[in-house]
Amino acid sequence: MTPDSDQQIRELLETRTRAYDRRDAATAAAAYDDDLVLYDAVGPFVRRGEDPSGRLERWIASYRTPIGHEIRDLEITAGADLAFCHFLVRISGTMRDGTEVAMWVRATSCLRRQSGTWTIVHEHASVPFDAGTGHAVLRSELS
């Protein structure tokens, strides 16, 4: 992996994080490729080839506050034109109905570089669950 690739991918993810804080769906959606395959933590579980800006606009609008999007433990592996990264992300904020959100999600992003620009072509976000109860585990010792 070249240092440039690592830095460009980190900047793409940081730009998306700043966009959530500003409630800017268009900038957040710009990280995604036109051929995006998204395995989201909320249904529908598989999204293919759809413009993510509408989904992001609805998600951002469901919050009364900026959305906290804290990335931890980011690891990037990049080749010449393909890369993947995995990380934990803490989503936080207050929804319009007053619900306080503070949850951890696991994420894997696969990226492709075309004409010198990295975009996310596949993303998988998931919430771990307790096998004994079947309930989602939203809090972590990381909080």
Q: What is the pLDDT of residue 140?
A: 64
Cβ count near 102 (within 10 Å):
12
Q: Could you tell me the mean pLDDT of each successive run of 10 residues in the chain, 143 residues long?
A: 86 97 95 92 77 88 96 96 96 96 95 96 88 76 56
Indicate the CATH number for domain 3-126: 3.10.450.50
Cα separation, 24 vs 17, in Å, equals 10
Q: What is the pLDDT of residue 55?
A: 87
What are the extents of the domains in the chain?
A: 3-126
What tokens appear for 62 in the block?
């469901």
Q: What is the pLDDT of residue 98?
A: 97
- Single pTM value for the model: 0.88
Place of tokens 């007053």: 98
**DSSP code, position 75:** E
Q: What is the pLDDT of residue 118?
A: 97
| Type of residue at 101 | V
